[in-house]
């Protein structure tokens, strides 16, 4: 029987690439989204992957959503916490609301979703959780104290939860992407984008498929000895 995977924010950008990669590896995928019904509908029509709508910042919605996926598709074996938002601004201009929304979605969403699937994974003695961090959670970024704090928190969350899951066959890892050629990055002014690319040693933006391949490995049986780890996929832009 095919393993069941949930990919949050899985209908666009990096999330879509992850959903497709896991599907290509024989998994039954549920992609979650929070807002754009038309885009989600198009995604499902193109890929055959079911889309489920809920806000990962809403704890109760996550519990209900995970239960719904399990009822419709089967017990959840794999969780990819990819959903994230930005509300950029220096701390002098950043509102509390903008701080809270990013923390609640990007970091709180990891907790909310893990609570929905981790007990079942532990009971069945097999599970894979991959949390999508960021180069900006590792190195910091001007004007992103909320985003950097949330993504940095993901790396600590990953290491701690990995210790809870290890003996039960549940691995927990993170991937920290660098600058990836997605709609979000495409919206950056061209002169700014040129400066970003100039700082990447390999001389280009990453592709969403490159992140997805890393996720697929960590979610596989072959990745079973990797846990509590952060895989940096950033073209050499940040090394430590």
Could you tell me the CATH number of the domain that includes residue 215?
3.40.50.720
Residue 117: closest CA among 18, 206, 4, 208: 4
pTM of the full structure: 0.95
User: Is the pLDDT score of 182 beyond 90?
Assistant: no
The predicted pLDDT at position 116 comes to 98
| 29: in domain | yes
| 238: in domain | no
| 19: in domain | yes
Q: Which domain holds residue 54?
A: 4-233
Beta bridge partners of 230: 174
| 127: in domain | yes
| 54: in domain | yes
User: Is the pLDDT score of 203 beyond 80?
Assistant: yes
**Rounded to 5 degrees, what angle do the CA atoms 233, 22, 126 make?**
95
User: Sheet containing 28-33: which strands, arranged edge to edge?
Assistant: 50-53, 28-33, 4-7, 76-81, 127-132, 170-177, 230-233
| 239: in domain | no
Chain-wide mean pLDDT for the chain?
95
Buried b (16+ CB within 10 A) or exposed e, 179-213: bbbbeeeeeeeeeebeeeeeebeeeebbebebbbb
Positions marked active-site: 147
Q: How many distinct structural domains can be found in the chain?
A: 1
Q: Per-residue confidence at 103, pLDDT binned at 50, 70, 90?
A: very high
Tell me the CB-side half-sphere exposure of residue 101, using CA atoms within 13 A: 10
| 13: in domain | yes
User: Is the pLDDT score of 184 beyond 80?
Assistant: no
| 222: in domain | yes
What percent of the chain shows pLDDT beyond 90?
88
Distance separating alpha carbons of residues 102 and 96, to the nearest angstrom: 10
Q: Which residues touch 28 (CB under 8 Å, ≥6 apart)? A: 2, 3, 4, 5, 73, 74
């Amino acid at each position: 029987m095919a393993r069941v995977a949930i990919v949050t924010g899985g209908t666009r950008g990096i999330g879509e690439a992850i959903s497709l990669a896991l599907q290509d590896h024989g998994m039954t995928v549920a992609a979650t989204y929070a807002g754009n019904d038309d885009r989600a509908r198009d995604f499902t029509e193109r890929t055959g992957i079911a889309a489920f709508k809920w806000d990962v910042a809403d704890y109760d919605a996550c519990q209900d959503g995970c239960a719904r996926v399990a009822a419709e598709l089967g017990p959840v074996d794999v969780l990819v916490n990819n959903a994230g938002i930005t509300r950029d601004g220096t701390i002098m201009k950043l509102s509390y609301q903008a701080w809270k929304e990013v923390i609640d979605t990007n970091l709180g969403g990891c907790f909310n979703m893990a609570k929905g699937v981790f007990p079942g994974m532990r009971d069945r003695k097999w599970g894979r959780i991959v949390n999508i961090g960021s180069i900006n959670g590792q190195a910091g970024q001007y004007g992103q104290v909320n985003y950097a704090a949330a993504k940095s928190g993901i790396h600590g969350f990953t290491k701690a939860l990995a210790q809870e899951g290890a003996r039960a066959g549940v691995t927990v890892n993170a991937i920290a992407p660098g600058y990836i050629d997605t709609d979000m990055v495409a919206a950056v002014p061209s002169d700014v984008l040129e400066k970003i690319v100039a700082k990447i040693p390999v001389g280009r933006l990453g592709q969403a498929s490159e992140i997805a391949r890393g996720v697929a490995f960590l979610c596989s049986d072959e990745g079973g000895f990797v846990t509590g780890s952060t895989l940096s996929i950033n073209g050499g832009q940040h090394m430590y």
